């Protein structure tokens, strides 16, 4: 069933011409922003919405870190299994998912948007623009305008979608690919991290607001001049004017001061409330790091675990932060019969080898061991480092248990000892 605003060819045309020949100007859903979604109240009294949470610097940085890292990774479509597994670069699935999901976005922009939807809303929705049985484009749908439910008669999942004031009801999975995020009790939709952790985010937003209002309204002076006796308003104003004219500003920095008539100078330092505010804001950043499962050091907070190196933190981020997210998207793509029909022997997979690489010295040491152990050839190692193959580099070294290369067999000798 075509959507009311779609105009797509009735039949697919040639592989190299199909996108150019379609009326793409009106075939896809408009791409609204993340606005328009509801919010939630926290114990602090703050109303937490997606826009407010995204405005918190730590939340914005965390989501961008996750979304842009995922967007920068290539999605590879493979065909076959085991030794016969190879990249299906000629398939339309590869060109759609790896190269260009739609005419307006690159693959990085598309997957960055999908990842951001999952982090902010807990769900991502993709429109499949089709001609016949062929998916021609993938378009991002604003999750804030989507309602998910089951048809009472058929039990089929359906979507009611609102786009720029227009309502489209009863859309089926034949036209929508739904990537569900994490949920605590199962169900049709994932839970938004913003709503699930609204109490912690409310505290962080309250601390942010308090700091801003304190700087706007604060009248605490940096210095105090104490004078014995009682000064009149006129005398105090004259004394302050002389002091500012003599010592205020960059031009007067470092000038010595002379105090008379028993006057003393006191410097007013940071109060306990100021120190507590700084600690509270730091704790808010750590809370955001826990919510989005990323190392706090990646948000600018030094790690409290002194025995964890930056490399180890990066590997933890990839293995325990990114991999579950990538796997969730992979499985949603694989289970879609329009993209990967049964029997096609095609499957998508994110390529994360670049993020899992150790530093140069560690990698090279590992390559030496693998080469001497006889399970990597020179050309396989060169391929891992993006170097072209060399002649004779496909030979795997035969090594004994001791690890040293095989020695040449000794020449036969005569009974008299002469060679």
Q: Are residues 247 and 136 in the same domain?
A: no
Same domain (yes/no): 318, 369? no
User: What's the pLDDT band for 417 if we cut at 50, 70, 90?
Assistant: very low
Note whether 7 and 27 are within 8 A (CB).
yes
- Angle in degrees, CA 204, 209, 212, rounded to 5: 125
Q: Which residue, 314, 330, 350, sits at the end of a domain?
A: 350
Whether 212 shows a pLDDT value over 50: the answer reads yes
Measured CA to CA, the distance from residue 280 to residue 58 in angstroms comes to 13
Last residue of a domain, one of 350, 366, 381: 350
Same domain, 178 and 90: yes
pLDDT of 292 > 80? The answer is yes
- Which has more pLDDT, 274 or 240? 240
Same domain membership, residue 363 and residue 320: no
**Do 178 and 259 reside in the same domain of the chain?**
no
- Together in a domain, 190 and 338: yes
The overall average pLDDT reported for the chain is 78
User: Do 262 and 121 belong together in one domain?
Assistant: no
Asked if 296 and 251 touch (Cβ cutoff 8 Å), the reply is: no
Residues 321 and 372 placed together within one structural domain of the fold:
no
291: in domain: no
Is residue 281 included in any domain, yes or no? no
Percent pLDDT > 70 in the chain is 76
Q: What value does the mean pLDDT take over residues 387-393?
A: 84
pLDDT average, residue stretch 190-219: 76
* Domain assignment present for 279: no
Each residue's pLDDT tens digit, 336-367:
999 999 888 899 999 887 676 666 777 788 88
For residue 6, is it within any domain? Answer: no
Range of the domain at 57: 18-198+306-350
Pair 44, 155 in one domain: yes
Asked if residue 162 and residue 86 are part of one domain, the reply reads: yes
3-state secondary structure 181-212: CCCCCCCCCCCCHHHHCHHHHHHHHHHHHHHH
The residue among 239, 267, 295 that closes a domain is: 267
Q: What is the mean pLDDT of residues 102-111?
A: 94
Q: Which contacts (CB < 8 Å, 24+ apart) does range 406-411 have? A: none
Average pLDDT, integer, range 148-155:
90
Instruction: pLDDT band for 277, please (50, 70, 90 cuts).
Output: low
pLDDT confidence band for 222 (50 / 70 / 90): low
Contact predicate 192/211, CB 8 Å? no
**Residue of higher predicted confidence among 276 and 42:** 42
Q: How many domains are there within the chain?
A: 3
- Mark whether 260 and 346 lie in a shared domain: no
Give a yes or no: residue 172 inside a domain: yes
What is the average pLDDT across 322-340?
94
Average pLDDT over residues 300-319: 75
Task: Say what the pLDDT of residue 206 is.
Answer: 78
Structural domain contains residue 329: yes
Predicted pLDDT of residue 32: 32
Same domain, 259 and 134: no
322 lies in some domain: yes
This prediction has a pTM of 0.70
| Residues 44-87: tens digit of each pLDDT | 777 777 888 888 888 999 999 999 999 999 999 999 887 788 88
Considering the domain boundaries, does residue 278 fall inside one? no
């Amino acid at each position: 069933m075509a959507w009311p605003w779609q105009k797509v060819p009735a039949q697919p045309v040639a592989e190299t011409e199909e996108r150019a020949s379609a009326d793409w100007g009106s075939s896809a859903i408009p791409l609204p922003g993340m606005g328009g979604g509801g919010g939630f109240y926290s114990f602090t009294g703050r109303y937490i919405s997606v826009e407010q949470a995204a405005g918190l610097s730590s939340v914005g940085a965390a989501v961008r870190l996750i979304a842009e890292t995922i967007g920068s990774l290539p999605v590879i479509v493979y065909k076959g299994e085991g030794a016969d597994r190879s990249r299906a670069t000629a398939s339309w699935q590869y060109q759609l998912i790896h190269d260009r999901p739609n005419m307006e976005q690159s693959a990085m922009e598309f997957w960055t948007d999908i990842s951001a939807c999952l982090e902010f809303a807990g769900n991502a929705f993709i429109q499949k623009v089709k001609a016949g049985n062929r998916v021609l484009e993938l378009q991002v749908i604003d999750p804030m305008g989507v309602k998910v439910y089951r048809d009472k008669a058929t039990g089929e999942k359906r979507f009611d979608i609102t786009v720029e004031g227009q309502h489209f009801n009863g859309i089926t999975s034949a036209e929508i690919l739904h990537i569900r995020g994490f949920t605590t009790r199962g169900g049709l939709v994932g839970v938004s991290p913003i709503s699930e952790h609204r109490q912690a985010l409310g505290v962080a937003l309250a601390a942010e607001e308090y700091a801003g209002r304190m700087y706007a309204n604060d009248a605490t002076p940096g210095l105090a001049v104490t004078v014995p006796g009682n000064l009149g308003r006129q005398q105090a104003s004259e004394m302050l004017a002389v002091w500012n004219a003599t010592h205020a500003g960059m031009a007067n920095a470092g000038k010595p001061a002379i105090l008379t008539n028993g006057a003393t100078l006191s410097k007013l330092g940071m109060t306990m409330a100021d120190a507590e505010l700084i600690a509270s804001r730091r704790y808010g950043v750590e809370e955001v790091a826990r919510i989005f499962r990323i190392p706090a050091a990646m948000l600018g907070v030094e790690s409290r675990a002194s025995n964890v190196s930056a490399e180890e933190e990066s590997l933890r981020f990839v293995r325990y932060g990114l991999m579950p997210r990538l796997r969730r998207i992979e499985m949603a793509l694989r289970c879609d019969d329009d993209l990967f029909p049964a029997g096609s022997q095609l499957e998508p997979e994110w390529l994360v080898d670049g993020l899992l690489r150790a530093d140069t010295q560690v990698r090279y040491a590992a390559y030496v061991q693998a080469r001497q152990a006889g399970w990597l050839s020179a050309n396989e190692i060169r391929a891992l480092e993006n170097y072209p193959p060399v002649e004779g580099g496909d030979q795997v070294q035969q090594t004994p248990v001791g690890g040293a290369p095989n020695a040449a067999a000794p020449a036969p000798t005569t009974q008299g000892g002469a060679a």
